[in-house]
Chain A
Amino acid sequence: KQEVTQIPAALSVPEGENLVLNCSFTDSAIYNLQWFRQDPGKGLTSLLLIQSSQREQTSGRLNASLDKSSGRSTLYIAASQPGDSATYLCAVWGSGAGSYQLTFGKGTKLSVIP
């Protein structure tokens, strides 16, 4: 059974700092990997989707990398802002017949202090 771990569970940084969130998964036979953002009382907003053939994706101040062989992904946030405060979730897509099924980590709760 696929297990996804996110480290750290919580992170507090001053505004303007660059930061890295980590995600690891136990079964490297994944289809895609996706990073989401969740604000309190709201659903999930997709940030970046890395397909299995890709090694990274970038969107604005966000960059996500994927190393399937080692079972790791990182989300890099540059020049953090208070509006980045949220919980960040990593999810892996299953492979083969179960490719629709997302397995999530518990998330990293980020606080950016003005």
Chain B
Amino acid sequence: GAGVSQSPRYKVAKRGQDVALRCDPISGHVSLFWYQQALGQGPEFLTYFQNEAQLDKSGLPSDRFFAERPEGSVSTLKIQRTQQEDSAVYLCASSPAGYEQYFGPGTRLTVT
């Protein structure tokens, strides 16, 4: 079956622009996660949804970062007023509740 998909795969933004990154989880997966992976680093947890409820947003680095999952399926990670330090790969993962996470290919964001 289809895996986790993310779009766009690559995004170049000028400093100060807003961006929106989309994640389509595996159908039926209750849990959805966002991670940020800087160059040469491991992924770092950003936020977690169970259905439409955002249960943990402790990893969001600033109030410029906002995530939503309004109908409990597709999720969007929005970054306002992008800064150079936001340049990274943003990974989305989904899972049946309490089980192994399946990762998407990521969106590579470059802020110039």
Contacts and interface: CB of A to CB of B under 8 A. Distances in A.
Contact of B103 (A4, A43, A49, A103): A43
Contacts of B40: 106
A19 interface: no
B75 interface: no
B103 A100 contact: no
Contact of A104 (B31, B44, B48, B105): B44
Among A41, A89, A91, find the residue whose CB has the most chain B CB atoms closer than 10 A: A41
B33 A100 contact: yes
A100 B100 CA distance: 9
B42 A105 contact: yes
A43 B44 contact: no
B45 interface: yes
B101 interface: yes
Interface residues of B, number: 24
B31 A100 contact: yes
Contacts of A26: none
The secondary-structure label for the interface of chain B is strand
B45 A44 contact: no
Contacts of A89: 42-43
A44 B102 CA distance: 8
B25 interface: no
A94 B105 CA distance: 24
A101 B103 contact: no
Given A34-B100, A43-B105, A46-B100, A101 B56 contact: yes
A103 B100 contact: no
Contacts of A103: 45
A100 B48 contact: yes
Interface string B3-40: 01000000000000000000000000001010100001
Interface of A: 4, 34, 36, 41-46, 49, 89, 91, 99-107
Interface of B: 4, 31, 33, 35, 40-45, 48, 56, 91, 93, 95, 98, 100-106, 108
7 contacts: A45-B103, A89-B43, A91-B42, A100-B56, A102-B33, A102-B101, A104-B44
